[in-house]
Amino acid sequence: MRYRQLDQIIELIPGKRIVATRQLHKDEDYLRDHFPLFPVMPGVMMLEALFQASMWLIHATDNFEHSMLTLDEVRNVKFADFMQPGQVLTVTVEWDKSDEHSVKVKATGMRDDVVAVNGRLVIGKKNLGDGSDPQMLAADEFARSTMRQEIQKLLDARSQISSQAN
C-alpha cells in the first residue's frame, strides 16, 4: 500500500465500527504541490483514509474472505475543513448495510472536535479467483496474507504508542 493513510487503529469492533488515526507530517510528498504556501491534505487523501478504515473494518468482519475491496461509490461526501501538517485526522467508520457483493458504511474524519470530511461509502467485495484460474487463486491468497500483515501493523501501533506514553 503506497499511500497508507492511517497510522493506527484505536478501536475495532467487527461488523460495527472502527476508529483510526492519521497524523499529517510536513514532509509528505504531496504537500509540496498542494499548496506550497498553505500545505493541506488533499481531499482525495482524506477520502482515501475513510476508504482504508472501511476496508479494515470489512476485512476484520469477514475474516479476509474477499481479497479485493474496492471503493465503488461515494455518496454525500462533504469536505468541511482543512488538515494541515501536525494535525491528526481521526476516522470513524460505522457499518450500515451489507449484502453478498458490497458493504455500505458511514464515515467521518475529524480534526479535534471539527468535522473535516464525511460521507457514505459503498465498498465492493471481490476475489480475483472467482473464476477457475489457479494463478488468480494464488494472487487472492497473497493479497489476504499481505492485508493480514498490514492490519496487524496498525493494531500493533496502538500498543507501541501507549507504551511510549508511559
Helices 43-62, 134-165: inter-axial angle, 10-degree rounding: 110
CA distance 159 to 36: 35
CA distance 103 to 105: 6
- pLDDT, one tens digit per residue, over 21-36 is 999 999 888 887 878 7
- pLDDT, one tens digit per residue, over 115-161 is 999 999 999 999 998 877 888 999 999 999 999 999 999 999 977 65
CATH number of 8-156: 3.10.129.10
Q: Which of the four pLDDT bands, split at 50, 70 and 90, describes residue 18? A: very high
Q: Which of the four pLDDT bands, split at 50, 70 and 90, describes residue 2? A: low
Q: Which of the four pLDDT bands, split at 50, 70 and 90, describes residue 163? A: low
- pLDDT, one tens digit per residue, over 38-78 is 899 999 999 999 999 999 999 999 999 999 999 999 999 99
For the ranges 81-95, 98-112, 150-164, which has the lowest average pLDDT?
150-164
- Catalytic residue numbers read 34
